[in-house]
Amino acid sequence: MVMRASCVLLLLFMAFSARGHWWLDAMNAGEPEPGRTIVVAVIDSGLDFAHPDIDPGRIWRHGTEVANGRDDDGNGYIDDLIGWDFVDEDNNPWDSLGHGTFVTGLIAATRDNAIGIDGLTDNVQIMPLRVLNSGGYGNPRALARAVIYAIDNGASVINLSLGQAGLNGVDRWLTRYAAERGVLVVIAAGNAGTNVASFGPAGAGDALIVGASDERGKHAAYSNVGARLSLVAPGSDIVSLRARRTDFNLIMAVPGYAPGSGIQGESGQLYRADGTSFAAPLVAAAAAQLWSQRPSLDRGEIIRVLEQSARDVDDAGFDWRTGFGSIDLAAALEADPGSYTLARIDRVAATAIDGQPALAVFGVADSSAFRGASIEIRRGQSDRWRSVATVKRMPVASDDAPAQLAALPAALFSGSTQWQLRLLVESRGLPERSAMFELQLN
């Protein structure tokens, strides 16, 4: 297996000076309030840690390691002062591709210094861990070791803006390993325009899976979709930091890309690109800012707050293109972690009722103040909705084995091959939530 960073064809080339930080405005990020420092591990292609818009104080420092050629803490890594290079196996995670520096800038570039861009939060230290080489490729073993390193050395948030078609054992292991240890993993959904369930590691679950939205706040056409999608964040026409002497869209053979056209700024220290790779670190930064200001929250509550406070976009309720919606940091900072309503349809599978063919609907129907739930269907997108089943409260069982919400007789679906299903969950004192599912019958 290889991993490649998740970026796509550049679609828009507008002057950055005229655009400002539109992605921060779209996220309702505002000025970050002071809080405790959160360590964010960026597992990527490394970092240009000499970039003038990266404050050295924002780079994680290993508290017990000194530069003496010895493994002072006995962790197996000699002189790992600021992280590790899992490609060249040394203590210099320098970015020769540029992707990791771009990702890091969105999280932690120095604010209000008139040099480049503003990162979303001040309350972080970045742990740069290099697993992608100068061509954008990596391997599962390096990724697994980097995740272990990040967790063992105090990272609270891990950003993974990388992936590949297909899931493997490492993908499933790493998100579960982090979740069991209370560490939040944020993963780019991928840019293949396909179901994220077939894309690793984003399809493995146990993480915040982030798709990309465009400048209108809508689903970006290239962004992967599916029931595993958590949120969307700005991913198109994004400007961030450029590692010196890099042009990663050229190296990664982005279709239609002209050499050097992504390089921005008078000194060439900025870069413009599109992709879910850049939506994910904005969510990772938002999670870090939220955790910084609300340190009593745990990993699960951070996920719940970010999802429940998202602005609904695209189809009403949870949908496969935008998940719970577009991230809204200001709303998340005020949200009650104990108040939630969940409606999600994960999949539909063939089954039988009294020997007759039927369709089983799997997903989640849950609320902190559950009142009731039902499933409706309609032909195509034009017919009226018709209620066909009531649903008991069905909390999240596991990402790998969602609960069966209902079994619907196949006779309900006669007369058409295209159907829509809608799950409605009602709560006492909370807004109703819904989830859409498009069904194509053979």
d(CA 27, CA 234): 8
Listing from the earlier edge strand, what are the strands of the sheet with 418-427? 386-391, 370-379, 418-427, 433-440
Are 390 and 376 in contact by the 8 Å Cβ rule? The answer is no
Query: 3-state secondary structure string, the chain?
Result: CCCEECCECCCCCCCHHHHCCHHHHHCCCCCCCCCCCEEEEEEECCECCCCCCCCHHHECCCCCCCCCCCCCCCCCCCCCCCCEECCCCECCCECCCCHHHHHHHHHHCCCCCCCCCCCCCCCEEEEEEECCCCCCCCCHHHHHHHHHHHHHCCCCEEEECEEEEECCHHHHHHHHHHHHCCCEEEEECCCCCCEHHHEECHHHCCCEEEEEECCCCCECCCCCECCCCCEEEECCCEEEECCCCCCHHHHCCCCCCCCCCCEECCCCCEEEEECHHHHHHHHHHHHHHHHHHCCCCCHHHHHHHHHHCCECCCCCCEECCCECCECCHHHHHHCCCCCCEEEEEEEEEEEEECCEEEEEEEEEEEECCEEEEEEEEEECCCCCCEEEEEECCECCCCCCCCEEEEEEEHHHHCCCCEEEEEEEEEECCCCCEEEEEEEECC
Does the bond joining 337 to the residue before it have cis omega, within 30 degrees of 0?
Answer: no
Enzyme catalytic residues: 44, 99, 277
Tokens matching residue 5: 């960073």
Q: Which residues have a Cβ under 8 Å from the Cβ of 74 and sit 6 or more positions away?
A: none
Are 2 and 137 in contact by the 8 Å Cβ rule? The answer is yes
Residue 329 to residues 52, 108, 288, 433, Cα–Cα distance (Å): 27, 16, 11, 20
